[in-house]
Amino acid sequence: MFPKVPDQHKTGKPLIPNGLGVLYVLFTTVCLFLFYFLSGGHQVQSGISAPLTLAVCILFGGFMGLLDDWMDLKWRYKAFMPLIAALPLVYFAIAMNARTSITLPFIGFVDFGVWYFYIIIPLIVMIVTNTVNMLGGFNGLETSCPAIVLLGLMGISALTSSSYLLMIGPIIFWLILTILNLQGKIFVGNSGSFAIGMSIASFAIIADVKIGLLISILPYIFNSSLILLTVFFTHKKALITFKDDKLESDHRRSLVTTLTYHRPLTERKIVIIISALVAVFTLIAFIYSFISILF
């Protein structure tokens, strides 16, 4: 049913079903629509609701990933296409009269006013979706790290509201895909990575856990910044060599190549190290949010 692609980091390069992220998009959409129909209390002004808004955003993320799988979109298109998905979030935030301020570590309280709706929300969607998509390529990496971030954001949301209930069904299904991906049985493809990136960004805006999101995705931001700066200044891409079941690089142009710089590591170790790094920052985000609520 699903097209098969070679696993570049396995001996013999076995063919693995790709694009199973589509199943996450379909399952999540059904879950959110059921949530909407079974829980009328989540309806807000003008018929706008959190589950339907979230479903629309995730559907667009999956659609954008499918386009990338089929057409191999250039980065200048992928970078700005998520801005379209920001439109329902902007409308939702305005209808809810959402909080436009963010309390930043070491900076303090910052109120963006109306610019929050038209600048900050689109930037969050664009940055999160693309940075999540840029950190992948290994069995389990593109599924486990987003799962950690999303679980952390759900935990932060649970401290103050019931918004975390929106993502219970989707995260369970994503964890199933994560286990299969870690075992090297499937790839979620761009449809999966864009959809989960859109899930993270949209949920963070709807649940108002933006500072938790910012801290949690710092490893993603580091990876994307390193890749983009290297391409901009040197016009070179991050490359990694595979030999004797281990991967190694002779440069530092991404998070992965930084870890494997003259240090051969197995694919599993790379995934464990990066997942642990994401987990540490997500835990910091949770602790910071918990302390902020107390004081």
For 164, list phi and psi in degrees, rounded to 5: -60, -25
Would you state the structure tokens that stand for residue 226, as one six-digit string?
Answer: 């390193």
**Domain residues for 14?**
4-209
For residue 292, tell me if it sits in a domain. no
| Average pLDDT over the chain, rounded to an integer | 89
For residue 261, tell me if it sits in a domain. no
For 6, list phi and psi in degrees, rounded to 5: -70, 140
Count structural domains, the chain: 1
For residue 69, tell me if it sits in a domain. yes
Would you state the structure tokens that stand for residue 259, as one six-digit string?
Answer: 């870890």
pLDDT tens-digit profile of 188-224?
A: 999 999 999 999 999 999 999 999 999 999 999 999 9
For residue 140, tell me if it sits in a domain. yes
For residue 289, tell me if it sits in a domain. no
For residue 252, tell me if it sits in a domain. no
pLDDT value of residue 43: 52
For residue 61, tell me if it sits in a domain. yes
pLDDT value of residue 9: 72
pLDDT value of residue 200: 97
pLDDT value of residue 127: 95
For residue 265, tell me if it sits in a domain. no
State pTM to two decimals: 0.94
pLDDT < 50 regions, the chain: none
